[in-house]
């Protein structure tokens, strides 16, 4: 059975496509992305509460199906609370390599439609489809095309907001979730915005919302009718920004292809750890995950950094720039261990460790220069082969970096 055959297709919510003639901006947002990707391999869990996140006491929720969200589970919630309010949920540890692979494919769908694509996360992006009208049709038609292609190729759903600005398009995609399409016509922006709670505005966090409510401002419409001078007196420069958004004024253009500045992973231990072997074992696991994400994204990087957080929450970072860019776990792991040793924390209790690769560039544009007499190791090819094995057999497949043997190697028996 193909992946798209497993996908339950639901109709878009009411209030879908309207007059899109002045609406060249699309915001496409995958629905419960990490959880949806996990369900491709676990179709028996469809329709049930599923939470993606580290299962330990210090873990947090990365994603949750809408069945789990009905119980109040949401991203960034501590896992202990999520399991308490939704004990029947299935918890799945994250598989970042799979997410990167699907994200890359989804972005390729966007790029085939228009070069004006601005990714803002692995699961969402802005598109300016004004230049694609003649070739593909009106924005709403293009939005439907995107939703169909994502569903057919990857078996997951996305929601699309179509509007005259980035701000309104993002709000529209949020309003029509999950698996929806909503057009906000250019002449209906104020009508759409003003009933919304004031917290819907960009720049309104918890504290700002509380301050606005104290002033009697509960909806976007309330805020729109407050004099700009009053808002500036209360909130400084942010006041003018909020006033503009309340009337739908957002002049920001779509900025094509903002590349990843870095790729990393970190892990908070269930209990503080002062065993160097356990730390190195975690550095190995994180290095493998980071390398797999680099390869899935088509990147290599020159700078490796480690993050070490002590039991008193003091955080230390160390980094090193390599001679050549890499996406090989063995090289990232070796460098991470050397940085850990150089930090002098081998007998210090740590609550968190992280590995990150920065200074990224496209892998296709990076050629490795071998020194005279130096032989190619073959590690990259071996790890690429293991990527395929992991995709086929699951995350428990052994990666080549796990076979590295050093005098202190955590994988030694």
Catalytic machinery residues: 124
Residue 377 tokens read as: 């190791």
Task: Decide: helix, strand or coil at residue 218.
Answer: coil
Exposed/middle/buried for residue 380 (C-beta within 10 Å: 0-12, 13-18, 19+): buried
Instruction: Give the span between the Cα atoms of 408 and 350, in whole angstroms.
Output: 19
Residues in CB range of 112: below 8 A, 6 or more apart: none
Task: Give me the torsion for CA of 201, 202, 208, 214, rounded to 10°.
Answer: -10
Residue 330 tokens read as: 């063995």
Helix H or strand E segment including 121: strand 117-121
Judge whether 303 and 320 are in contact, CB under 8 Å: yes
Angle at 170 between CA 169 and CA 176, to 5 degrees: 90
Residue 290 tokens read as: 């980071």
Residue whose pair of structure tokens reads 């601005």 in the numeric block? 118
């Amino acid at each position: 059975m193909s992946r798209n055959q497993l996908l339950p297709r639901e109709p878009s919510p009411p209030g879908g496509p309207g007059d899109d003639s002045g609406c060249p901006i699309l915001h496409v947002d995958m629905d419960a992305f990490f959880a949806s990707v996990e369900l491709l391999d676990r179709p028996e869990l469809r329709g049930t509460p599923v939470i993606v996140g580290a299962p330990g006491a210090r873990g947090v929720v990365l994603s949750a199906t809408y069945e789990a969200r009905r119980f109040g589970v949401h991203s960034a919630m501590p896992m202990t609370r999520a399991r308490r309010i939704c004990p029947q949920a299935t918890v799945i540890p994250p598989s970042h390599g799979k997410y990167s692979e699907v994200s890359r494919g989804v972005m390729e769908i966007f790029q085939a439609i228009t070069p004006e694509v601005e990714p803002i996360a692995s699961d969402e992006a802005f598109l300016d489809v004004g230049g694609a009208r003649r070739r593909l049709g009106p924005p709403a038609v293009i939005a439907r095309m995107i939703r169909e292609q994502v569903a057919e190729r990857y078996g997951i759903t996305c929601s699309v907001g179509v509007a005259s600005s980035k701000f309104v398009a993002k709000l529209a995609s949020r309003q029509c979730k999950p698996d929806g399409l909503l057009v906000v016509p250019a002449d209906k922006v104020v009508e759409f915005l003003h009933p919304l709670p004031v917290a819907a505005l960009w720049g309104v966090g918890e504290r700002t919302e509380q301050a606005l409510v104290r002033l009697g401002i509960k909806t976007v419409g309330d805020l729109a009718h407050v004099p700009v001078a009053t808002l500036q007196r209360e909130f400084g420069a942010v006041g003018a920004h909020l006033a503009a958004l309340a009337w739908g004024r957002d002049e920001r253009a779509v900025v094509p292809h903002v590349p990843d500045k870095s790729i990393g992973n970190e892990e908070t231990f269930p209990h503080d750890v002062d065993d160097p072997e356990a730390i190195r074992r975690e550095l190995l696991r994180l290095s493998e995950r980071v390398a797999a994400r680099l390869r899935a994204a088509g990147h290599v990087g020159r700078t490796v950094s480690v993050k070490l957080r002590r039991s008193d929450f003091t955080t230390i970072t160390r980094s090193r720039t390599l001679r050549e860019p890499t996406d090989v776990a063995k090289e990232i792991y070796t460098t991470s261990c050397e940085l850990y040793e150089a930090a002098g924390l081998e007998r210090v209790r740590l609550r968190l460790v992280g590995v990150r690769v920065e200074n990224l560039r496209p892998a296709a544009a990076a050629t490795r220069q071998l020194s005279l007499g130096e032989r190619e190791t073959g590690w990259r090819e071996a790890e690429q082969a293991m990527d395929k094995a992991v995709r086929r057999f699951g995350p428990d497949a052994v990666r080549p970096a796990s076979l590295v043997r050093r005098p202190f190697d955590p994988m030694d028996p």
